[in-house]
Amino acid sequence: MDPDFIAKTAQIASVLEVSGYPKPGNVHRNRDFPDMIFEDFLISGIVIGDTIKKAAKRGNKYYNKDSLDKIELGKLIKEAVVETDKWIANNTNLGIIMLLTPLAAAAGMSSNMDDLRNNVDNIMKNTTSYDAVNLYAAINIADAGGMGEREDLDVGSNNAKNELIDKNINMFDVLDLSSQWDMLAYELTRTMPITFDIGYPTYKEVKISHGLNNATVQTFLTILSIYSDTLISRKYGREIAEKVSEDANIIVAEGGILTDKGKDLLYKFELDLVEKKLNPGTTADLTASSVMVALLDEYKDNF
């Protein structure tokens, strides 16, 4: 696929995700947070474009299995975080960058959608210890948690860099260790099941008859109804995260944003999460990756 096209799908997916209204517990077109506003996310979605294009170009160039390490996925993720940090004071898009960068590289080496998912997995498994080091750096620059505190390989440890290199632990290995408690790590080490099996099909189906915004919100709700958000779980505990997902499931069962009853429940849910400061941010990241895959599929023949 064409790198310019791939970069645009990533930027558009980022913008559509944050624009979804009402996307419960998250910043959207009618909801700002005290420390970050809607426009911060719009800017973040735009400024990653150059790096995403570079990832797609490298995927196109280094498509052989023996050269996948030359994509330097971790370095690209760090580069996108550094670029975002120039424009935005707070972490707005680390999770999105972590998902969309390997997707872009995979799309760059894919001629059709059937290859895309398998290529993401191949890229992740052929990362290097230096990719892991750069991922750690990106997480620290963004001042984000998510990989958990460990006695070894702690993302905040000054000795982690040397340990990763000395033990030849690549990015896939590091994320695999975190996959038990982090949705993004699980997604990137399990062939992106939430994106490809849940989010992308939901967005594609809903968009046909209900439009962009409804498709984005319904995708978000559907993912949240099935998978407890690990950002909420880390901050407030598993039971609260599971309760949020149970509430989302009730709304989806009533039609979500696509029915009047579902919509009424959705507005109440949104206010409840904001009041309790429960932010399903990981679900938002997975919504963005789902939208990107849908855009790659829908517009691939135009470029």
Residues 67-95 pLDDT 10s: 999 999 999 999 999 999 999 988 899 99
Question: CB-side exposure of 290: number of CA atoms within 13 Å?
Answer: 34
What structural domains and CATH numbers belong to the chain? 3-302 (1.10.4200.10)
60: which 2 tokens?
Answer: 């196109």
21: which 2 tokens?
Answer: 């209204």
Please provide the size of the chain in residues.
Answer: 303
Instruction: Report how far residue 218's alpha carbon sits from residue 222's, in angstroms, rounded to the nearest whole number.
Output: 6
pLDDT band at 154 (very low <50, low <70, confident <90, very high): low
What count of other Cβ atoms lies within 10 Å of the Cβ of residue 108? 27
pLDDT at 144: 65
Q: For residues 236 and 249, is the Cβ–Cβ distance under 8 A? A: no
The H or E element spanning position 234 is: helix 230-236
Contacts of 303 (CB under 8 A, 6+ apart): 1, 2, 4, 5
Residues 10-32 pLDDT 10s: 999 999 999 999 999 999 999 99
Mean pLDDT within 150-168: 73
The DSSP letter of residue 198 is I
Q: For residues 70 and 58, is the Cβ–Cβ distance under 8 A? A: yes
pLDDT at 145: 52
Question: CB-side exposure of 43: number of CA atoms within 13 Å?
Answer: 16
Mean pLDDT within 213-233: 97
Instruction: Report how far residue 296's alpha carbon sits from residue 281's, in angstroms, rounded to the nearest whole number.
Output: 23
